[in-house]
Chain A
Amino acid sequence: MFEFSRSENKFQAKKLRRICLKIIKSITGWIEERIDLSGIRGFMDEKVVPEHKHHFWYGIGGITLFLYVIQVITGILLLLYYRPSAESAYESVEFIMTSVRYGWLIRSIHSWGANLMIFFLFVHMFSTFFMKAYRKPREMTWMSGVALLILALAFGFSGYLLPWNKLSYFATKVGTEIAAVVPVIGKHILMFLRGGEDVSGATLTRFFGFHVALLPTITFLILGVHLLFVQAQGMSVPPSLSAEYEKNPKSMRFFPDFILRDAVGWLAVLGLLGILAAVFPWELGEKADPFSPAPQGIKPEWFFVFMFQTLKYIPGRILSLNGEALAIFAFGFGALFWFLVPFLDRRAQKNLSSSFFTAIGIILVLYILAMTGISYFFD
Chain B
Amino acid sequence: MEKINQTDQSRRRFLLSGLLTSFSAFAAMLLYPVWRFIMPPPVPESKQSSVKAATVDELKPNSGKVFPFGNKPAILVRLANGEYRAFSAVCAHLQCTVQYREDYKLIWCACHNGKFDLNGNVLSGPPPAPLEAYDVFISGKDITVAKRT
Q: Which of A311-334 contact B (CB under 8 A)?
A: 311-312, 314-317, 322-324
Q: Check if A323 sits within 8 Å of B40, measured CB to CB.
A: no
- Do A295 and B96 form a contact, CB below 8 Å, given A192-B38, A316-B128, A323-B126? no
- A256 beta carbon closer than 8 Å to chain B: no
User: Which residues of chain B have C-beta atoms less than 8 A from A315's C-beta?
Assistant: 126
Stretch in B2-10, B22-30, B109-117 with 4+ CB within 8 Å of A: B109-117
Q: How far is the CA of A195 from the CA of B131 in the complex (A)?
A: 26
* A-side interface size class: 20 to 34
Q: Check if A294 sits within 8 Å of B111, measured CB to CB.
A: yes
- A47 beta carbon closer than 8 Å to chain B: no
Q: Check if A174 sits within 8 Å of B40, measured CB to CB.
A: no
Q: Which of B33-86 contact A (CB under 8 A)?
A: 38-40, 43, 66-68, 71-73, 75
Q: Check if A197 sits within 8 Å of B66, measured CB to CB.
A: no
Q: Check if B39 sits within 8 Å of A196, measured CB to CB.
A: no
- B144 beta carbon closer than 8 Å to chain A: no
Q: Check if A291 sits within 8 Å of B73, measured CB to CB.
A: yes
Q: How far is the CA of A149 from the CA of B97 in the complex (A)?
A: 31
Q: State which of B39, B43, B67, B93 has its C-beta within 8 Å of the C-beta of A192.
A: B39
Q: State which of B39, B73, B113 has its C-beta within 8 Å of the C-beta of A312.
A: B113
Q: How far is the CA of A60 from the CA of B110 in the complex (A)?
A: 37
Interface string of A242-270 (1 = CB under 8 A from B): 00000000000000000000000000000
Q: Check if A322 sits within 8 Å of B112, measured CB to CB.
A: no
Tally the A-B contacts, defined by beta carbons under 8 Å.
84
Nearest to B91 among chain A residues (CB) is A294
- B98 beta carbon closer than 8 Å to chain A: yes
Q: How far is the CA of A291 from the CA of B39 in the complex (A)?
A: 25
- Do A174 and B110 form a contact, CB below 8 Å, given A191-B40, A202-B40, A293-B99? no
Q: Check if B93 sits within 8 Å of A195, measured CB to CB.
A: no
Q: Check if B94 sits within 8 Å of A324, measured CB to CB.
A: yes
Q: Check if A298 sits within 8 Å of B110, measured CB to CB.
A: yes
- B89 beta carbon closer than 8 Å to chain A: yes
Nearest to A323 among chain B residues (CB) is B126
- A292 beta carbon closer than 8 Å to chain B: yes
Q: Check if A324 sits within 8 Å of B39, measured CB to CB.
A: no
User: Which residues of chain B have C-beta atoms less than 8 A from A298's C-beta?
Assistant: 96, 110-111
- B95 beta carbon closer than 8 Å to chain A: yes
- Do A316 and B122 form a contact, CB below 8 Å, given A197-B43, A290-B73? yes
Q: How far is the CA of A115 from the CA of B71 in the complex (A)?
A: 34
The distance from the CB of B120 to the nearest CB of chain A, in whole angstroms, is 15
- A142 beta carbon closer than 8 Å to chain B: no
Q: Check if A293 sits within 8 Å of B110, measured CB to CB.
A: yes
Q: How far is the CA of A178 from the CA of B126 in the complex (A)?
A: 13
The distance from the CB of A217 to the nearest CB of chain B, in whole angstroms, is 16
Q: State which of B39, B92, B96, B126 has its C-beta within 8 Å of the C-beta of A294.
A: B96
Q: Check if B40 sits within 8 Å of A195, measured CB to CB.
A: yes
Known: A293-B110, A298-B111. 19 other contacts (CB 8 A): A170-B96, A173-B94, A174-B96, A191-B39, A202-B40, A291-B68, A291-B97, A293-B75, A293-B98, A294-B99, A295-B110, A308-B112, A311-B112, A311-B126, A312-B112, A316-B92, A322-B128, A323-B128, A324-B93
* 8 A-B pairs closest in CB distance: A293-B99, A316-B128, A294-B110, A177-B94, A294-B96, A291-B68, A174-B94, A177-B95
13 contacts between A and B (CB under 8 A): A170-B97, A173-B94, A173-B95, A174-B111, A174-B112, A177-B94, A293-B66, A293-B98, A294-B97, A311-B94, A316-B92, A316-B126, A322-B128
A residues whose Cβ falls under 8 Å from a Cβ of B: 170, 173-174, 177-178, 188, 191-192, 194-198, 202, 290-298, 308, 311-312, 314-317, 322-324
